[in-house]
Amino acid sequence: MTQTSTDLHDLTVAQLATLLRQRKVSAVEAARHFLTRATAYKHLGAFLGVSEDVTLAQASAADARLATGATGALLGVPLAHKDIFVTRDFVSTAGSKMLDGYRSPFDATVVSRLAEAGAVTLGKLNCDEFAMGSANENSAFGPVKNPWDSSRTPGGSSGGSAAAVAARLTPAATGTDTGGSIRQPAAFCGITGIKPTYGRASRYGMVAFASSLDQAGPLARTAEDCAILLGAMCGPDPDRDSTSLDVPTEDFSLKLGDSIDGLRIGIPAEFFGEGLADDVRASVNAALKQYELLGAKLVPISLPRTELSIPVYYIIAPAEASSNLSRFDGVKFGHRAAQYTNLTDMYLQTRAEGFGDEVKRRIMIGTYVLSHGYYDAYYLQAQKIRRMIADDFQQAFTQCDVIAGPVAPTVAWQLGGHGNDPLADYLADIFTLPASLAGLPGMSLPVGFGAGNMPVGLQLIGNHLTEARLLNVAHRFQQATDWHIARPQGV
Amino acid sequence: MNTVVTENGVVVAPGQSTLVQGYEVVIGFETHAQLSTQSKIFSRAPTAFGAEPNTQACAVDLALPGTLPVMNKGAVERAIELGLALGSHIAPRSIFARKNYFYPDLPKGYQISQFEIPVVQGGSVEFYLGNEKKSVRLVRAHLEEDAGKSLHEDFVGQTGIDLNRAGTPLLEIVTEPDMRSTAEAVAYARELHKIVTWIGICDGNMQEGSFRCDANVSVRKPGEPLGTRREIKNLNSFKFMQQAIDYEIRWQIEELGDGRAIQQATVLFNPDTGETRAMRSKEDAADYRYFPDPDLPPLVIAPQWVQQVRAGMTELPRVMAARFCADYGLSDYDATALTQSREIASYFEAASKLCGQPKLVGNWIMGEVSRRLNQDGIEITDAPVKPETLAWLVSRIHDGTISNNNAKVAFDHLWKGVNVAVASLTAPSPTLSAAGTAGKQVDDLIESLGLKQMNDAGALEKIVDAVLAANPKNVGEYRGGNTRALNALVGQIMKGSQGKANPQQVNELLRQKLEA
């Protein structure tokens, strides 16, 4: 054993997989190491469901496969899943009291694909209730704290995933991104995350928030790790998800080493306007300079409807959510009120007790915009603008290969910092929403530190199905810089 | 003008719209046909009827978190088949929408249906009402999923939920308000039922709910705008359908007569009282917040798919009826009657091809055969007289061996399964020689019952002369210009020949003698 178990958590997925393959470390050792860390860092609130027995059984099974000489990109590698993915062996809550203690009879496709690739599940990660939030303050099981500064938010809704990776409680994690829920927490926690093209990863087994926007993706410390995970997560699932794309599984690592000399990076003017904080602007600009040094050309472009993406998203996503969450009615599964007088009262009490404020707010918004007489003015109009936003991107991609800009206007804010103002949270989503509405792949990579020594993320947006290029562009940056290696104090 | 008066006093006057106490009746239909797929419309759970509660509901049907719908292609193909059968437009791109409402037997809290753009658009159902050809225009037919069932009776103070039916594929077939009488409405429903079972997209079992009709009924004074309609839900037999609509028409006219306006409502028919009763009024109508289902991409049907479905389809009743007119020289009316079901049509074709007498065969099927089937309450496939037997009998009528009336006597024996000793026989037509035993049976029966027509001119002449001599009064009347007197003489002669004389021959002989 050349590797001591104390620094296992500093290894990337790629490094750990190699050691496992070489049998220099066992899957059980790795799993125990990370489970111990998860307990030690419990105060971050990143983990929800853990089951040592299940994890160690999976690890033993991986060791048995390793012993037979079996290989697999993730064989024996411990991972953790955002609690929005349903799992057979762990409780699946979606961060909601509504599903407290809920056990799914099946695994999400993403979960089973990663298991087939040999990954060992450490447990389930905290998130905003039903993935609704930008600060992970909407979880029924308490907020997650940012490992860089525990008084700040880790971002959301995949806050538990981002915090766990940043704190080295897991080498990587799954997340979901509806309007920025992978990219923004990755940026706030100084790690790397990618949301693939809509339809790349099956949504089967993801507790639905907004069906036309939800997309799974990995969060890890490097683009290389994201490429490994993404390859395992994606692939067609036509028998279970009708919106799953009929494109074959891809090895996203293949292009990692490609040169980016001559790459045209589009810089949307609308991403660098007044609302962008100076510290974020400085780090992003420095990263763009770095890209120029790597041979890329910066091309000014315009995404003229960037601002409209906020109202459009906050009509479409709640509309879909209001319908998706109707199944939580106390009849078949999940929470049911203990006291009620009749059927209607059962519905009212159950949903009043089971849902948190933000979820209720979005159900009400969604119900309103779909109501008779309002549908045309809100939902239909939003769909029209959504198509225009997608067209704007296609126009932009005639001038550039990838688009770069900030992930969020500011670094992570203080927990409770937005007080009781949901609009402040909504407005902070401005740079991640456009790619979500257009169904485009987007990623976040750490490119510096801003106020309070908090990480800053750079967002890269590609055209449909160009994840391999995005990962290559991020990887070249990480080969030349070491922002992704920085670790929070005390971790 | 011929009129038909039904039980409730509704006067049906062919060729114009029916008025009831000065009111015009307006009826439109919405029919839910359960599609005959093995699995559900959006999941792989089986659709069989009558299983133990909740044994045929999978995670998708239960709407467990994370589940998603996946379209069953078989359901789409059945919708295409109906569209082709009714001359509808098959939408190259149609949209699934969510109809949102809370109910315990609706697991997702919404029903997946089609709203703005349905898969089948337009078309018509054509049928005969008496001798009059009717055409009811379709608005649309759309695919949707069924809900589960709430069981209120089996639990005290509680409701049981059975989700076996949840997700069963339905095609909702919606007409224009084109029907003007109960009789027309029932005839439409029967015709639609015939078509869906003919093309095999629905088993048509009304008791099990595979074919459920909702009738939208309103009345108005002729020339006035449409009256307010009430929708009678879940009519699950043609008999109840007729009773319910008749009652509803009478009720609405009475209300209006008493100066009360009709309130839009959904009503249920109670077979025990024979009355309709409002379930909910329009004020309670839910806002279903329809919107396109983001879990299902638009349903795209390429022309090749339609072609493929068309190629695999059985000959449609309309097409078959047209062919019967062209190939067998049948009238439109007869051809329609003989294509009431695939079984009747194939019985007709088999018998016609064997004996080469389609018109006679057709008349026999619409006459004697139908009468017997109704009497015995059986289907034509179970008829004791098989097509080859009827063909032989018809051939014997055609070649003059037996009169039409005596053939009915023989048919009666054949129907009852009377066996007779087999004698030698010669096939009446070359094609029939294949139908050996049936032919033997018919010929032996004619022989043993002594039903053969008298074709001996000498013997017949003797009877004719005797009858003329015995009935000078009739003879005188006929010669005086009363042609009807001939009938009496024919009757006497037939009687004298014990029914074996050939009526045509008798007529000819009589005229010869009387006009000589």
Q: pLDDT tens, A123-162?
A: 999 999 999 999 999 999 999 999 999 999 999 999 999 9
Distance between CA atoms of residues A93 and A104, nearest Å: 10
| A433 Cβ under 8 Å from any chain B Cβ | no
Catalytic residue among A157, A202, A253, A436: A157
With beta carbons under 8 A apart, name residues in chain B contacting A106: 59, 64, 66
Distance between CA atoms of residues B115 and B177, nearest Å: 19
Q: Which chain A residue has the Cα nearest residue B60?
A: A240
Residue A12: pLDDT over 90: yes
Per-residue pLDDT at B420: 43
Structural domain for A184, as ranges: 5-233
Structural domains of chain A, count: 1
**Token pair recorded at residue A205:** 């087994």
Q: pLDDT tens, A65-83?
A: 999 999 889 999 999 999 9
Distance between CA atoms of residues A467 and A197, nearest Å: 8
Tell me whether residue A90 is in a domain. yes
**Token pair recorded at residue A33:** 């190491």
Say yes or no for a CB contact (<8 Å) between B100 and A326.
Answer: yes
Say yes or no for a CB contact (<8 Å) between B62 and A331.
Answer: no
Q: Is A384 a catalytic residue?
A: no
Task: Provide the pLDDT confidence category of residue A1 given band limits of 50, 70 and 90.
Answer: very low
Q: For residue A157, is the peptide bond before it cis, meaning its omega torsion is within 30 degrees of 0? A: yes
| A99 Cβ under 8 Å from any chain B Cβ | yes
What are the residue ranges in chain B where pLDDT is below 70?
1-17, 281-285, 418-436, 455
* Mutant choice from B44, B60, B68, B161 vs A, greatest count of A C-beta within 10 A: B68
Per-residue pLDDT at B17: 56
Say yes or no for a CB contact (<8 Å) between A242 and B291.
Answer: no
DSSP designation for B43: S
CATH number at residue A173: 3.90.1300.10
Tell me whether residue A283 is in a domain. no
Which domains are assigned to chain B? 20-305 (no CATH), 315-449 (no CATH), 457-515 (1.10.10.410)
Count of beta carbons in the 10 Å neighbourhood of residue A61: 16
With beta carbons under 8 A apart, name residues in chain A contacting B296: 242-243
Closest in A104, A320, A367 to B66, CB measured: A104
Per-residue pLDDT at A415: 95
For residues A280 and A409, is the Cβ–Cβ distance under 8 A?
yes
- Closest-CA distance, A85 to chain B, in angstroms, reads 8
Per-residue pLDDT at B128: 87
SS3 state at B123: coil
Per-residue pLDDT at B159: 87
3-state helix, strand, coil in chain A (%, to 5): 40, 15, 45
Q: Is A82 a catalytic residue?
A: yes
Closest in B59, B65, B70 to A99, CB measured: B65
Per-residue pLDDT at B117: 95
Per-residue pLDDT at B423: 40
Task: Provide the pLDDT confidence category of residue A5 given band limits of 50, 70 and 90.
Answer: very low
Tell me whether residue A96 is in a domain. yes
With beta carbons under 8 A apart, name residues in chain A contacting B293: 211
% chain A with pLDDT above 90: 95
Residue A164: pLDDT over 70: yes
Per-residue pLDDT at A33: 97
| A241 Cβ under 8 Å from any chain B Cβ | yes
Tell me whether residue A214 is in a domain. yes
Tell me whether residue A431 is in a domain. no
φ/ψ of B208, rounded to 5, equals: -85, 0
In the block, residue with structure tokens 């009490």? A349
Tell me whether residue A128 is in a domain. yes
CA dihedral B383, B388, B392, B395 (to 10 degrees): 100
**Token pair recorded at residue A21:** 């393959």
H or E stretch covering A166 = helix A159-166
Report, in angstroms and rounded to the nearest whole number, the Rg of chain A calculated over CA atoms.
Answer: 21
Comparing CA positions, the residue from A438, A436, A432, A320 lying closest to residue A379 is A320
Q: Residue length, chain A?
A: 491
Tell me whether residue A49 is in a domain. yes
Per-residue pLDDT at B431: 56
Per-residue pLDDT at B6: 47
pLDDT, mean of residues A423-440: 94
Tell me whether residue A267 is in a domain. no
SS3 state at B395: helix
Say yes or no for a CB contact (<8 Å) between A326 and B66.
Answer: no
Q: pLDDT tens, B293-311?
A: 999 999 999 999 999 999 9
Per-residue pLDDT at B465: 86
Distance between CA atoms of residues B399 and B502, nearest Å: 11
Distance between CA atoms of residues A490 and A84, nearest Å: 29
Comparing CA positions, the residue from A65, A68, A78, A112 lying closest to residue A8 is A78
